[in-house]
Structure 1
Amino acid sequence: MSTDGNHSPDGFQGTIGTTYQDSTPWWPPETGPAPGTPNVVLVLFDDVGFSSLGCYGSEIATPTLDALAARGLRYNNFHTTALCSPTRASLLTGRNHHSVGMSIISNADSGYPSKRGAVCHEAGTLAEMLRAQGHHTMAVGKWHLAPADQTSAAGPYDQWPLGRGFDRFYGFMDALTDQFHPELVHDNHRVDPPKSPEEGYTFNEDMIDHAISFTTDQVSVAPEQPFFLYLAPGAAHSPHQAPQEYLDRYRGAYDRGWDEVRAERFERQKAMGLIPADTDLPPRNPGVQAWDELSEDQRRVYARLQEAFAAFVEHTDHELGRLVEHLERLGQLDDTVFVLLSDNGASQEGQINGSVNTGFYENSQVDPLEYNLSHLDDIGTERAQNNYPLGWAQVGNTPLKRYKQNTHAGGVRDPLIVSWPRGISEQGGIRTQFHHVVDIAPTLLEILGAEAPETIRGVPQMPLHGTSMAYTFDADGPTRKESQYFEMFGSRAIWQNGWKAVAFHEPGSDYADDVWELYDLTADFSECHDLAEQEPELLRMLVEAWWEEARRYGVLPLDDRRFAERRAEAQARRHSPRSRSTFTYYPGMTRVPSGVAPFVLDRSYTVTARVSLSAPDEGVLVSCGSVSGGYVLYVQNGLLVHDYNYYGRIFRVTAEITGTDGQQPTEHELTYRFDKSGELKGTGSLAIDGVASGHVDIPETYRHFMDWAGLEVGRDALSPVSDGYRAPFPFTGTIHHVTFELGDDTDGVDDYEPQD
């Protein structure tokens, strides 16, 4: 034991004398994974439906994923939560998403425990669990588990990847990002992409470069320490973008239409043994027309949008292949467990016409066909941020009904591949046991010989909700899962003993009007035969069981409002930056994410830049948004210019900057003011040193959402808001500060007249 009076904060158990000769050293016992513990690569795709991969029946080339499946197992009865952030929360914690605070995406806090938009610290992540037990932890790609208004450089950082157990991170924080102009975070700080699209940049390649770098460092420096790599590509969430060579590969590939492609995938799935031979193909989802009934213009646009999706998926597969090859070169591939899944089914967010601009969906609008047609050649490139229409989303979910956000199978039944040559003897097997995303964490803990801790950093932990799937590695057979509930935007479902009760809920309608359906999934893979009338007592019991599970796991209160409708509550949080009405930004600050930028939608506001400039100076003073929408205030050719980008339509106002003295800088106050004149309309005007000069009528403005891209001072470095300059167009003068002042007229017309 230590000498009396000696302080031993690490529990020192040796002895301390006067010198080392009469002392006994002691080292704390080392703990860590047992020798031979495998690495883990957990790959989470985004919006990839049940049939979207080659090994699940698709015509899209996915040789990397197909090869991993051939070395391991495919699951045809695996389920998720129907939405991205909730699935990520359940995947990384092994708990149901409502229980940990993630009822929908992390961009809203509705004021209830299940709806915080953040994972509670009582639910530790796999990274927190495994790091404590000796694994090196790395995350690359999409995060989307931190409250949106906590993702700026001011933090707080406790819900960022490094705050939730990861040693390294490289990727993006929000729901989506432009693949050519991503908003990147490296560890805990924001960074610019390392090169431009003109130099061949894509986020897919950049993401894999960092995954390779992280794993190389680990294997080189600490080869005895296993790693956990969480790899979450943006694919195949919109925007569907890919290098031109990949777009060219699919040109014309979908001209035959979605009905024919769906039928081909269906037959291919049967031939693979992926679905039972007696599976029925459901009729088209509501709102999906027969391909033969579409106009020529519709077919041209819709086929082109699916081409971009396919190109995006293949490009992602190719880049993932580079990581697989790299691990093989390092001698790590056979010692690595690969788990690959999607966060939900194929997305309905492209709506009936598809989309080349994400803003339409977020503002509860539909892209006009004529608008999409005018951008036909931009689809898949950096000039558009596109998504496919409902008909192709239906194909992506073959042979299942409905989509992402729905609790029917099209929203929640997703591909799962597990590849582990040293732990799974069967190659190319198919597993039919019912399982859910909450089961992944318990599975990994079991095969790694790790345990879920009772406390993490002093916080008592809730029990895991999942059931380990490790038993399925040996053989197909009965599932050990007993029950699983589902809920998303008011749609509900429950699975028990092979039966599923499900109710589609139309947002805004009375829950009492929801019609519960009943399916025997042991005999009806695609949920085609509703047995509610034949088995009313069983249905009643399942509905009651759903309510019991809802109370048990914190689902209530039910909330069918969309994200835009919940934003006001999110802004009501006392410490949210969005609760302020005045913002002052200084040069040198990093990009401000959209969830923290001033909320200027449908309200009056002013933007004032205090600058020093001489006659030749030019560049961006402040910008917010991207090619899809936003605003930018800049100086060019002696003019102050403000461009408001409304779905690509530019409302421009200019004013001459007077009082500059040749090459000698002079100080000026440059102001843009928007005066709301009615709902979603107003007048934009400029002022130079307080003198009004120029205005433009803006007959339409954004209602709920402008763009996912954030705000920058002194440049527009990523996807440019305007085509009036070449990005990044940095300001060559001096910016002292830029101030936003927001009006309080969000609920009505302001009571003052616009200035000339």
Structure 2
Amino acid sequence: VNNLFKTGPFDQYPTGLGFSYFYGFIAGETSQYEPRLFENTNPIEPPYTAEQGYHLTEDLADQAIKFIRNNRALTPDRPFFIYFAPGGTHGPHHVHSEWADKYKGKFDMGWEKLRNITFQKQKAMGWIPSSTELTAIDPTMQKWEDIPESEKAFQLRLVEVYAGYLEHTDTQDGKVIEELERQGLFNNTLVIYILGDNGASAEGQHGTIDELIAENGLPSTAELQIEVLNRDFGGLSALGSKHVDNMYHSSWAWALDTPFKSTKLVAAHFGGTRTPLVMSWPNVIKHDSTPRSQFHHVCDIVPTIYEAIGIQEPEHVEGTAQIPLDGVSMMYTWNNASAVGRKDTQYFEVMGSRGVYKDGWFASVFGPRIPWHQNATRLKEWNPDTDVWELYDLTKDYSQAHDLAKEMPDKVEKMKSIFLVEATKNKVLPVGA
């Protein structure tokens, strides 16, 4: 609460948590055209308006480039650390129409066929194991053939906007990388690129012009969304603009999570948690095209950085004892694609959905909430003690296609015990709180 006052202490702002400078937004999301910006601890206005062409992701890239140039000019022999975290492609899906227009017609086949095409490309490129099975659509999800013709243009434009937003974000990331190259820094800079903090979002439910409708549990339909869009905002051309907070249909999220099951807010399936990661350090990491299959988690990023720069995890910072890091460095994978994985245990939990990884096995519970449906009754009747657990052998089943829980009940019980230990140790309990 103290951080709400103009006098501080601001110890929970980035500048109170180790960063010497901060420029960006504090909230979980913000408008790309009219963001609530902070510089260090001071609220500021964007440098120019949406009508003048302002876009937050472009601004953040420009600020990162400015930081690199200033550091190079003032302290050329001093290393630097940048955490570049644009809002894309988190909601709201805001991007200028010329980016979305690039994708007109690219999704006309619908989400089932898109998922099949994506799956075949993933296999052909070697990004997933050749034995991977494509999991089926959840029976509670809407199929493309069930979408009325009167709604399809709306559903297609929503995902076209997202695709344009994704390319736009990637382009801004590329501008920062290009600056490193221009300054002669790229070959000796460790770059860690993570696309997203979770799987694709199903919070758009039936397709929406305001994702907060679903987050607040308000009933709505695509038909009503289209009616309001046409009446108040000028139709499909408004999607991606500052006037709406649009989000694609939840079944597009399922397609974008190929080959996995489920979506964001489901810790039980990798469609909710698995995201791409790329690391580059040309002077240290020998480039090859082999994906690393070792199991790792975002908590392994800091240990990787510590090992890379050769420092020990501090036990105290400014007199305050530190909680030991749970993570495992990924540096051992850099020049050995087939190295034996060193992370043996990892728990997951969000809103009662949960899972635990242990030495190639994964046990999980879907939980009380279906992100792509509003079902208050399910939550009211939920009892975590009676949840049904699933079990997967990830060494043979990359996409969690085969639930082995009924065949191996003893293994399930062991995995449940491991989850309880990890949840207790990491202050997760009570589950769903």
Report the TM-score, using the length of structure 1 for normalisation. 0.53
State the 1:241 CA deviation. 1.1
Deviation string 1:158-209 (CA, Å, 9 cap, x unpaired) is 0001000111111001011111111111111111111111211100111111
Q: Are 2:341 and 1:479 aligned?
A: yes
CA displacement 1:114-163 (0-9 Å, x = unmatched): xxxxxxxxxxxxxxxxxxxxxxxxxxxxxxxxx7x835645440000100
Which of 284, 287, 290 matches 1:423? Answer: 284
Contact 1:519 1:531 (C-alpha < 8 Å) held by counterparts = yes
More helix by share: 2
| Alignment partner of 2:306 out of 439, 442, 445 | 445
Query: Is this contact kept in 1: 2:384–2:431, CA < 8 A?
Result: no
Partner of 2:252: 392
Whether 1:555 and 2:428 are equivalent positions in the alignment is: yes
Cα distance in 2 for partners of 1:295, 1:156 equals 54
Kindly provide the CA deviation profile for residues 216-272 of structure 1, in whole angstroms up to 9, marking residues without a partner as x. 111111011111000111011111011121021112222221111111110010011
Does the 8 Å contact 1:257/1:299 carry over to 2? no
SS of 2:362's partner is: strand
- Contact 2:239 2:246 (C-alpha < 8 Å) held by counterparts: yes
Measured at CA, do residues 302 and 366 of structure 1 come closer, stay the same or move farther in structure 2, by a change above 3 Å? Answer: farther
Alignment partner, residue 372 of structure 2: none
Q: Identify the match of residue 297 of structure 2 among 433, 436, 451.
A: 436
- Name whichever of 438-447 and 404-413 sits farther off: 404-413
Secondary structure at 1:228 match in 2: coil
- Candidates 130, 133, 138, aligned match of 1:280: 133
2:71 to 205, 215, 218: 218
Which residue type is aligned with residue 25 of structure 2? Answer: F
2:128 partner SS = coil
- C-alpha distance in 1, partners of 2:223/2:137? 25
What is the match of residue 263 of structure 2?
A: 403
Letter in 1 for 2:314: P
| Counterpart residue number, 1:207 | 60
Structure 1 residue ranges, 4+ long, deviating more than 2 angstroms after superposition: 149-156, 426-429
Aligned counterpart, 1:242: 95
State how 1:605-624 maps to structure 2 within 5 Å: none
286, 302, 322: which one aligns with 1:461:
322
Q: Which residue of 2 aligns with 1:293?
A: 146
1:525 — aligned with what? 398
Query: In structure 1, how many angstroms separate the alpha carbons of the residues matched to 2:366 and 2:182?
Result: 49
Matches within 5 A, 1:720-731: none
1:129-208 correspondence to structure 2 within 5 Å: 150-151=3-4, 153-208=6-61
Deviation readout 1:679-729 (Å, 9 max, x if unpaired): xxxxxxxxxxxxxxxxxxxxxxxxxxxxxxxxxxxxxxxxxxxxxxxxxxx
In the TM superposition, what are the counterparts of 1:500-579 in structure 2 within 5 Å? Answer: 500-506=362-368, 507-508=379-380, 509-560=382-433
Name the counterpart of 1:257: 110
1:356 to 183, 206, 209: 209
CA pair 258-154 structure 1, distance change in 2 beyond 3 A: farther
| SS of alignment partner, residue 373 of structure 1 | helix
1:332 aligned residue:
185
Question: For 2:131 and 2:163, how far apart are their aligned partners in 1?
Answer: 28
Q: Give identity over the alignment, percent.
A: 40
Question: What's the CA shift for 1:513?
Answer: 2.4
**Residue in 1 aligned with 2:351?**
489
Q: How far does the alpha carbon of each residue in 1:432-487 deviate from its partner, in whole angstroms, 9 at most, with x for none?
A: 00111111110110011122111111101121111111000021232011111111
Give deviations 1:388-442, integer Å, cap 9, x for gaps.
1111111121111111111111111111111111111133331000111111110
**Does the 8 Å contact 1:297/1:373 carry over to 2?**
no
Aligned to 1:35: none
- Distance in 2 (CA, whole Å) between partners of 1:330 and 1:554 is 44
Query: SS of the counterpart of 2:416?
Result: helix
Residue aligning to 1:377 = 237
> What 5-or-longer segments of structure 1 have no aligned partner?
1-146, 561-756
Aligned residues: CA RMSD: 1.5
Distance 1:306 1:216, change over 3 A: same
Return the offset for 1:279. 1.1
Question: Which structure: larger Rg?
Answer: 1
Equivalent position amino acid for 1:534 in 2 = E
SS of match in other structure, 1:229: coil
Partners of 1:434 and 1:451 in 2: CA distance: 23
Could you say which residue in structure 1 is the equivalent of 2:376?
A: none
Q: 1:314 aligns with which of 152, 167, 172?
A: 167
Secondary structure, counterpart of 1:435 in structure 2:
coil
Contact conserved, 1:483 with 1:496, CA < 8 A, in 2? yes
1:354 and 1:367 in contact (8 A); partners too: no
Structure 2 CA distance, aligned partners of 1:356 and 1:366? 13
Amino acid of the structure 2 residue aligned with 1:349 = E
Q: Which has the higher strand share?
A: 1
